[in-house]
Chains A and B, each alone.
Chain A
Amino acid sequence: MTKEMTGAEMIIQALIDQGVEHIFGYPGGAVLPIYDALFHQEQVRHVLVRHEQGAVHAAEGYARSTGKVGCVLVTSGPGATNAVTGLADALMDSIPIVCITGQVPTHLIGNDAFQECDTVGITRPCTKYNTLVKSIEELPRVLHEAFHIASTGRPGPVVIDVPKDVQFATGTYSRPKAFAHRGYAPKPKADPRRVEEAVALMRNARRPVFYTGGGVINSGRKATELLRQLVRTTGFPITSTLMGLGAYPASDPQWLGMLGMHGTYEANLTMHECDLMICIGARFDDRITGRLDAFSPGSRKIHVDIDPSSINKNVKVDVPIIGDCTEVLEEMLRLWTAQPGDGHAAAHKAWWKKIDQWRARKSLAYKPSNEVIKPQYAIQRLYELTKDRDTYITTEVGQHQMWAAQFYGFEEPNRWMTSGGLGTMGYGLPAAVGVQLAHPDALVVDIAGEASVLMTMQEMSTAAQYRLPIKIFILNNHYMGMVRQWQELLHGGRYSQSYSEALPDFVKLAEAYHGVGIRCEKPGDLDAAIKEMIAVDKPVLFDCVVDPSENCFPMIPSGRAHNEMLLGDAAENLDEAITEEGKMLV
């Protein structure tokens, strides 16, 4: 289809052609022509946020829960700079985003014009790709290329900076057949010899473990299915990063829980003592490896990743496989089914026995209370009361986020939206907005901290405007708990600036935002309060007042005496379960 239209109309047309149904944005002088074009159509629904950071997080939530590209529209200058945190977040967590920013007219660029900023310069290090559109001729190609780049290979955010005169200019629109970036080759085909090598190692492994991550989720539904089959037919244990939760069902006996800094004892020790690590779509982040020279010293390592720059970045691996999870898992499963591993049944049995001993340590245990709500208990109750529903969970950043990861059992992928790489407080509420728009009938809960949630609280207004019944479940410990925990462990308990002083009354705040406020302070009242929250068909701020002094364990501390793993007081002290090597775990 070739048609004459203005640049602004092309933008809308390209969105329509890409199947975009929702775009999150905020108007301003440099995008007025685009807003005018939006006004004249009904296919793309614009969602007005209350801060541009919220627009990007909402688009991230939308993208992560649907597998589609999330779209954002913001104005020049402050509109673009406000979006930067969201873009950096999406880059770190490999979330596909297309963000259109307005720019001052071409002839004013570089003149310190009103609301001018060097958007392309500012966003270059926090996008997968960005570009300034200098003429109407290139606009259709750039728009479609942006979707292609954002969604293929390792996904990420793309910024298109469109000067106002280009939005007004008229040109010919058509959907391009070829892209200008011929050097961009996003789908490397995995080397079949490497996959064979990997499966041969798997057949011979005595103490294997699957270590999976966000790449499995990025790869799509099919990758999850294949992973489940492969794990079940091999019988190997499996752990995952924060970003990969839900790819493998948490209720399954082969599941060890999350690994890493706040991962379970059994997951971390299994990683430490394995003889074969099969890493699929995870990036050996420092929250996982701890001190590198002590990371899983006795194992051979297989690493499947679509991005060659993730391989051998932190940890040297024996079998690198550059490829898409789906494709590689399919091949692994095929090879394994044709010739399964055998002859190591006894070794595997002994391995599982060891793992069960580590499990017996109950590293997630906490001291229950009848007086005060323990945050872990709150998550457990939330889980029990929501698990049979169509539920999506987002989080803010802090202790509550880790407790959510530890205590909410994810059975399916794309149900868990959290800011892992950047760790952005304020992510969860706008992300919930995006998720709820994509899944209007689902139950969407933001597991929040009282400090984080204030960073983007204004998006409650967005939720009210679009009648999105998101549930903001605040674990209110009156502290920036994660900061307080580090200060307790590493800075002599000097709680410098980490007390949440002068908090708003969250119940009144909810009402001010046309929502419903619920406060719960006693463990005995919790179930009824959660049920009430679920039943409300409006945005809810749930002020769950929890034990202010609870810490999140296990923890592998960072920055101090570093080869120590800290367990909570309630964990079982089974000395025999800890091997010498285990004690050395970072």
Chain B
Amino acid sequence: MNAITPHSSSGSTSHYPSAHVAQAIETHTLAVIVDNEPGVLARVIGLFSGRGYNIESLTVSETEHQRHLSRITVVTRGTPMVIEQIKNQLDRMVPVHRVVDMTVSGRAIERELAMVKVRGKGDHRVEALRLADAFRARVIDATVESFVFEITGAADKIDQFVSLMLPLGLVEVSRTGIVAIARGPEGM
């Protein structure tokens, strides 16, 4: 056999499609409306794990009981091409009604709720309360040596609150993951 070899062999040594490295990685929040049927969450999660997509956050709950519809909010990362692919892959699933990219529409509000347990005495306890107040976190449980705070906000606000609680006796954090909705009068 005779090989047709290029004069200057390029650096890449794989025949297989390379990752789309030329494009920047972006974070997108997707709202996915699905039929609330058994296995639908497994289907969506299986798509992400099976195709190697990232899940940064995922929340799901029934939102329209009458019509058996649930809303999944998923935060994912990838190049614009991969994000487009994720949306198309989600959209073609049989129980999926709609996929809306909240990041592209640009007018979405994102919130997350966290419950944060802090244990401590004396100055630490006072400081924790003071910070909670500054972050508009509510005390939803208290003992003489602990608090459970409830805090709502954008994910980075919660991150910040949690890191401030760390030296003050942070015991445990439970977060809902991000939910999102568009601003203004229109529904999706």
| Bound CA span A556–B1, Å | 12
Residues from chain B with Cβ under 8 Å of A313 in the complex: 85
B134 within 8 A of A: no
A561 within 8 A of B: yes
A316 within 8 A of B: yes
A568 within 8 A of B: yes
| Bound CA span A312–B17, Å | 13
A563 lies within 8 A of B9 (CB) = yes
A183 lies within 8 A of B96 (CB) = yes
A439 within 8 A of B: no
A128-B7 CB under 8 A given contacts A292-B18, A293-B12: no
A309 lies within 8 A of B85 (CB) = yes
Residues from chain B with Cβ under 8 Å of A193 in the complex: none
Residues from chain A with Cβ under 8 Å of B92 in the complex: 153-154, 307-309
Which B residues, 86 to 100, have Cβ-Cβ distances below 8 Å to chain A? 88-89, 91-92, 94-98
Residues from chain B with Cβ under 8 Å of A580 in the complex: 7
A166 within 8 A of B: no
| Bound CA span A149–B7, Å | 51
Closest A residue to B96 using CB positions: A183
A4 within 8 A of B: no
A211 within 8 A of B: no
Count chain A CB atoms within 10 A of each CB in B9, B16, B98 and give the residue with the most.
B16
Residue among A183, A316, A566, A583 making CB contact with B6, cutoff 8 Å: A583
Which A residues, 257 to 304, have Cβ-Cβ distances below 8 Å to chain B? 286, 289-294
**Contact flags B3-38 to A (C-beta < 8 A → 1, else 0):** 111110110111111100000000000000111011
Residues from chain B with Cβ under 8 Å of A291 in the complex: 12, 14-15, 17-18
A564 within 8 A of B: yes
Residue among B10, B16, B39 making CB contact with A286, cutoff 8 Å: B16
Selected interface stretch from A119-127, A198-206, A522-530: A119-127
B42 within 8 A of A: yes
Closest B residue to A294 using CB positions: B10
Residues from chain A with Cβ under 8 Å of B43 in the complex: 124
B35 lies within 8 A of A183 (CB) = yes
B46 within 8 A of A: yes
B106 within 8 A of A: no
B14 lies within 8 A of A559 (CB) = yes
Which A residues, 128 to 182, have Cβ-Cβ distances below 8 Å to chain B? 128-129, 131-132, 134, 149, 153-154, 180-182
Main SS of chain A's interface residues? Answer: loop
B97 lies within 8 A of A567 (CB) = no
A181-B94 CB under 8 A given contacts A125-B46, A558-B16: yes
B46 lies within 8 A of A584 (CB) = no
A562 within 8 A of B: yes
B9 lies within 8 A of A551 (CB) = no
A128-B94 CB under 8 A given contacts A312-B84, A573-B2: yes
A509 within 8 A of B: no
Residue among B4, B97, B98 making CB contact with A564, cutoff 8 Å: B4
A567 lies within 8 A of B4 (CB) = yes
B181 within 8 A of A: no
B4 lies within 8 A of A578 (CB) = yes
CB distance from B39 to the nearest CB of A (A): 6
A55 within 8 A of B: no
B109 within 8 A of A: no
Residues from chain A with Cβ under 8 Å of B6 in the complex: 563-564, 583-584
| Bound CA span A294–B3, Å | 18
Closest A residue to B23 using CB positions: A316
A583-B97 CB under 8 A given contacts A309-B89, A312-B84: no
Which B residues, 124 to 161, have Cβ-Cβ distances below 8 Å to chain A? none
CB distance from B67 to the nearest CB of A (A): 9
A557-B84 CB under 8 A given contacts A128-B94, A182-B97: no
A289 lies within 8 A of B1 (CB) = no
B55 within 8 A of A: no
A120-B14 CB under 8 A given contacts A182-B97, A551-B1, A583-B6: no
B13 lies within 8 A of A561 (CB) = yes
A569 within 8 A of B: yes
A564 lies within 8 A of B5 (CB) = yes
A564 lies within 8 A of B3 (CB) = yes
B166 within 8 A of A: no
Residue among A134, A290, A316, A573 making CB contact with B15, cutoff 8 Å: A290
CB distance from B188 to the nearest CB of A (A): 13
Residues from chain A with Cβ under 8 Å of B1 in the complex: 551, 553, 566-569
| Bound CA span A137–B89, Å | 31
B81 within 8 A of A: yes
| Bound CA span A584–B9, Å | 9
A125-B5 CB under 8 A given contacts A132-B38, A180-B35: no
A465 within 8 A of B: no
B50 within 8 A of A: yes
Residues from chain A with Cβ under 8 Å of B46 in the complex: 124-125
B4 lies within 8 A of A289 (CB) = no
Residues from chain A with Cβ under 8 Å of B35 in the complex: 180-181, 183
Residues from chain B with Cβ under 8 Å of A564 in the complex: 3-6
B16 lies within 8 A of A308 (CB) = no
CB distance from B177 to the nearest CB of A (A): 23
CB distance from A492 to the nearest CB of B (A): 16
Residues from chain B with Cβ under 8 Å of A247 in the complex: none
A585 within 8 A of B: yes
Closest A residue to B50 using CB positions: A125
Residues from chain B with Cβ under 8 Å of A120 in the complex: 39
Closest B residue to A292 using CB positions: B17
A423 within 8 A of B: no
Closest B residue to A578 using CB positions: B4
| Bound CA span A33–B12, Å | 58
A129-B94 CB under 8 A given contacts A308-B88, A564-B3, A566-B3: yes
Residues from chain B with Cβ under 8 Å of A584 in the complex: 6
Which A residues, 308 to 325, have Cβ-Cβ distances below 8 Å to chain B? 308-309, 311-314, 316
**Contact flags B61-96 to A (C-beta < 8 A → 1, else 0):** 000000000000000000001001100110110111
Residues from chain A with Cβ under 8 Å of B3 in the complex: 564-566
A312 lies within 8 A of B85 (CB) = yes
CB distance from A357 to the nearest CB of B (A): 15
Residue among A124, A128, A293 making CB contact with B18, cutoff 8 Å: A293
Residues from chain A with Cβ under 8 Å of B16 in the complex: 286, 558-559
A37 within 8 A of B: no
| Bound CA span A289–B14, Å | 13
| Bound CA span A398–B28, Å | 42
Residue among A183, A290, A292, A559 making CB contact with B97, cutoff 8 Å: A183
| Bound CA span A34–B85, Å | 41
| Bound CA span A184–B34, Å | 11
B4 lies within 8 A of A183 (CB) = no
10 contacts between A and B (CB under 8 A): A128-B94, A129-B94, A182-B97, A290-B15, A312-B84, A314-B17, A563-B5, A563-B9, A567-B1, A584-B6
A-B complex: 9 closest residue pairs judged by Cβ atoms? A183-B97, A309-B88, A558-B15, A562-B15, A129-B94, A308-B88, A292-B17, A584-B6, A565-B4
